[in-house]
Chain A
Amino acid sequence: MKTLLNKDQLSITLQRLAHQLVENHLSFKNTVIIGIQPRGVLLSERIAGLVQKITRNKHIDHGTLDITFYRDDVQSRDIHVPADTNIPFTIEGRHVILVDDVLYTGRTIRSAMDALIDFGRPERVELLALIDRRFSRELPIQPDYIGHTVDTILTQKVKVYWEEKDGKDEVVLIDKV
């Protein structure tokens, strides 16, 4: 096991990502943040909180998206348990920032875009990933905002821990046997 980002590094990275978002979206009036269930949600909550502070907005539209029913592997694997989708605002004509913790094959993002389109037609969709597992993509999908890039092999796994849920802030690379 190897630490990719410790608590302080993670905090700085999140700050940078939030500033990059504000740089491109300024007031955030026409922009929404959507975290992908389950692990992208915690990241998106942090990011939304930081953006709110930086832009001094009282409110940022922030939702969650579950992609279970949009997966492309229903018949090949065990059934997945769905989580909540909560998008209590319109995305029609707005800028959507999809947020996930680890970008790997790109299949989750493909599903997420399908799911998202069922809620309306956004003017633009961008992707923020805390960890980009480079060279592992199975679809032509690239993030617009990257926290940290790693080169990994198939048997490795990247795990992001959050204080709120796991009791610590850390990103690690695990060698699976």
Chain B
Amino acid sequence: MSLSVKHLLGIKELNVTDIEQIFQTADKFKQVLQRQIKKVPTLRDITVANIFFENSTRTRLSFELAEKRLGADVVNFSASGSSVSKGETLIDTVNNILAMKVDMVVMRHSASGAPWFLANHIDASIINAGDGINEHPTQALLDAYSMREKIGNLKGKHITILGDIMHSRVALSNIYCLNKLGAKVTVAGPPTLIPKHIESLGVRVEYNIKKALEWCDVANVLRIQLERQHKPLFSTLREYALYYGVNKQMLDSLKKDIVIMHPGPINRGVEINSDVADSKQSIILDQVENGVAIRMAVIYLLSGKREME
């Protein structure tokens, strides 16, 4: 048994069975991570390259830990300080890394679609660790996994994704993933940060954040991605915090306790206040913990496909 895909490029390409299988396998890896020896020798014969053309803390550490705990060898590459600044192309860079007998590539890139492009040109399995404003599949998987752990089966559950929907690959992957698992999704935020026609993905749009929070079981709060906003989309961060930031007072005014999530890094005091991020309702650190198990599951399940094609 293995996944229906050779690469994990986006959630869009996965089917429900794939997602369920990743979750089931992650359950077992979570058991491994709770042992005294948090490591298994499963992939001791494979080498994984983590290629990051964009900054990352959590995702990169999480992937590296996942690989090491599966017994794989790991090489890390970041664009800054590499020959990319001398003008080497993406395919050349990756082919050179693969020439050193690397079996799997984990890549983050600022250009949307970069992993698909790469998948057409190289043989190794590719895991997308975030491409531009398109997809971040492992984040969506760990988000859905963490939600399920907290509130059970997601079928029919109400999930609000709040904040910078326009520039968020987490939002898009989350929408695909939650839809496939049967959850109902609302996106909320200022009109300038919500793409037109997003309803066509099967989500509701809500501009009033109080209403959006009132409706949901889980709120996934996203970071304002200033680095991707090339023109001003709201006047000031202070104003954003005032109208769209999630704070304790607002949560307390709701009729029920909703679960708060955030993929990190947090802009404290902007999209979410510390009194919410550090509250009992927040599962932000559970998300990080589950990230390692989910990534172990993905790498493990993709590793068996190498002999095919």
Residue numbers of A with Cβ under 8 A of B are: 66, 68-71, 74-85, 114, 118-119
A77 partner residues in chain B, CB cutoff 8 A: 304
Asked whether A76 and B307 contact (CB < 8 A) given A71-B42, A84-B31, A118-B37, the answer is yes
Tell whether, in the assembled complex, residue A114 and residue B307 are in contact, meaning their CB atoms are under 8 Å apart: no
Chain A residue with the shortest CB-CB distance to B308: A78
The number of residue pairs between A and B whose CB atoms lie closer than 8 Å in the complex comes to 56
Q: Are B40 and A78 in contact (CB under 8 A)?
A: no
A46 to chain B, nearest CB (A): 25
Shortest distance between the CB of A78 and any CB in chain B (Å): 6
Distance from B114 Cβ to chain A, minimum over Cβ atoms (Å) = 27
Give B15-47 as 1s and 0s: 1 = Cβ < 8 Å from A's Cβ atoms: 000000100110010011001110111110110
B2 touches A69 (CB 8 A): no
Contact pick for A78, options B2, B31, B41, B300, CB 8 Å: B2
Nearest residue in B to A81 (C-beta to C-beta)? B1
A41 CB → nearest B CB, Å: 15
Best-buried of A74, A76, A78, A85 by chain B (most CB within 10 Å): A74
Q: Which of A75, A77, A79, A84 has the most CB of B within 10 A?
A: A79
A69-B42 in contact given A75-B306, A79-B2, A82-B28 (Cβ < 8 Å): yes
- Interface range on chain B (Cβ under 8 Å from partner): 20 to 34
B146 on interface, CB distance cutoff 8 Å: no
**A residues near B251, Cβ cutoff 8 Å:** none
B2 adjacent to A85 (CB under 8 Å): no
Taking CB atoms, residues of chain B closer than 8 Å to A83 are: 28
Docked Cα-Cα span, A114 to B44, in Å, equals: 14
B28–A79 touching, CB < 8 Å: no
Closest to A117 in B: B37
Q: Does B98 contact A (CB under 8 A)?
A: no
Say whether B304 contacts A79, CB under 8 Å: yes
Chain A binding surface, main DSSP class: loop
B301 within 8 Å of A (CB atoms): yes
Contact B28 A84 (CB under 8 A): yes
CB distance B307 to A75 under 8 Å?
yes
Give the residue among A66, A76, A82 with the most B Cβ atoms within 10 A: A82
Q: A69-B32, A74-B303, A118-B40 are in contact. List 17 more A-B contacts (CB 8 A).
A: A68-B42, A69-B42, A69-B70, A69-B300, A70-B41, A71-B42, A74-B45, A74-B304, A75-B46, A78-B2, A78-B304, A81-B24, A82-B28, A83-B28, A85-B28, A118-B37, A119-B35
**Alpha-carbon distance A79/B308, docked complex (angstroms):** 12
Residues of A within 8 A of B1 (CB): 78-81
Let me know if B304 and A118 touch, CB within 8 A. no
Are A70's CB and B42's CB within 8 A?
yes
Q: Nearest-CB distance from A67 to chain B (Å)?
A: 10
Give Cα distance in the complex from A118 to B24, angstroms.
22
Whether A74 contacts B2 by the Cβ 8 Å rule is: no
Nearest-Cβ distance from residue A15 to partner chain B, whole angstroms: 34
Tell me whether B40 and A70 are in contact (CB under 8 A).
yes
A76 and chain B: residue at smallest CB distance: B307
Q: How far is the CA of A75 from the CA of B125 in the complex (A)?
A: 13
A residues near B35, Cβ cutoff 8 Å: 118-119
Q: How far is the CA of A132 from the CA of B14 in the complex (A)?
A: 43
Could you list 10 examples of A-B contacts with CB < 8 Å?
A69-B32, A69-B70, A70-B42, A71-B42, A75-B45, A77-B304, A81-B21, A114-B41, A118-B40, A119-B35
